[in-house]
Amino acid sequence: MAATRYIYTCCLYVFALVASLSSVQGQEAFLQEQPVSPVYLSLQVENDAFSLSGDRLYTHGVEFSYLPLNQTPPDWLFQLSAWTPHFHQSPEVGYFYQFGQKLFTPEATWSHNLEPEQQPYAGWLYSSATLFRPNPIDEILSELDSITYTLGVVGPLAMGDQTQNAFHGFVGDGRAEGWGNQLKNEVGFIFDYLHKWRIKQKTDLLQYDISPHISMALGNVYTYLGGGMMLRLGRSLPSDFGPPSIRPGFPGIGYFEPNNGLNAYFYLGYESRYMNRNIFLDGNTFTTSHRVHREPIVGDFQIGWVFSWPQFRLSISRMDRSKEYDGQSTETSYGAINFSWLQ
């Protein structure tokens, strides 16, 4: 079964690459002047069912983002970010909002009992505000800086139990029985900083770009230092920074370049993080709760493809994450679908 799944996945990736080589030319500008102020909406869904790995570990995530282009960020967000470099009141700075939920379960979801050696049950319900500043240096090199403030809640108030078991009931799947053992209610905060480079090249047959990045997060939910790189291949690569994912994960935003027809490209990337804090493994910050012994180094490998039409972008990918705690039986695997559209 595992071999068949990987052969099927590889065939899809080959198809995506072929489609990329035959795609049409796109436009070549980022945050360019436009006669109206468009709004980009984006929906990201991540689930282990997409990778056929079953309900386990990081089992589900959903995130919605709202990005108004060519609009001045609100004053409170500028004031909150006044001490950071690159972010000041100028037309070059954009912003977007996000709202999302993440669910984590142990592998033995059929058990009512606490599984002390497995991932704790946990839900995370949050909202975020991001300032970002693209910096196109020349035709080859561009940069992106962003800072994100996230506020949310971990525990029963995050409604992980209701979300998972309501969906399982809808599709006729078995209940996750151990949500009574989930982490306790706790307000969570994350400050996230990202710097990303984009180096674009082309050959006679295709274009490709390499996008290394560094990131950091501080907070009682996540604290880490990370870095990685993404490679994109296609006939006509848009001048953006790739589709979004739910952090921690590969950085991207809901913005994309509109084009006159079908465009496609293939991408793969790797990110490594030194984890100093992960509430979903370390347990509650201020009270005793279920916890496991966390691995300090975590690596993510992502592979996928993007299709875009005028005013729409679809991204489909698979993520494989290295083991995150002692006793974890297998790596974490999940699939992701992102749909972004321009209003």
* Grouped pLDDT means (10 residues each) for the chain, 343 residues: 37 40 39 65 93 84 94 89 74 91 92 90 97 89 94 97 88 85 97 94 89 97 97 89 89 84 92 97 95 96 93 94 94 95 90
Structure-token pair, residue 71: 């609009």
pLDDT given at position 20: 39
Please state whether beta strands 332-342 and 222-234 pair in parallel, antiparallel, or not at all (unpaired): unpaired
Q: Which residues contact 289 (CB under 8 A, 6 or more apart)?
A: 120, 183, 184, 283
CA 298 vs CA 14, 208, 273: distances in Å: 28, 27, 5
Domain that holds residue 36: 2-342
- Neighbour-count burial of 108, counting CB atoms closer than 10 A to its CB (0-12 exposed, 13-18 middle, 19+ buried): middle
Measured CA angle at 75 (ends 137, 136), to 5 deg: 5
**With contact defined as beta carbons under 8 Å apart, do 190 and 154 qualify?**
no
Domain tally, the chain? 1
Burial class (CB in 10 A: 0-12, 13-18, 19+), 22: exposed
What is the structure's pLDDT at 170?
A: 79
Collapse the DSSP code of 63 into the 3-class scheme (helix H, G, I; strand E, B; otherwise coil) and give the result: strand
pTM of the complete model: 0.86
pLDDT of residue 167: 83
Q: Give CA–CA dist 246/252, Å, rounded.
A: 9
Q: Who contacts 14 (Cβ-Cβ below 8 Å, separation ≥6)?
A: none
pLDDT of residue 175: 86
What local confidence, expressed as pLDDT, does residue 235 receive? 86
- DSSP assigned state of 185: P
CATH classification of the domain holding 126:
2.40.128.140
What per-residue confidence (pLDDT) applies to 90? Answer: 66
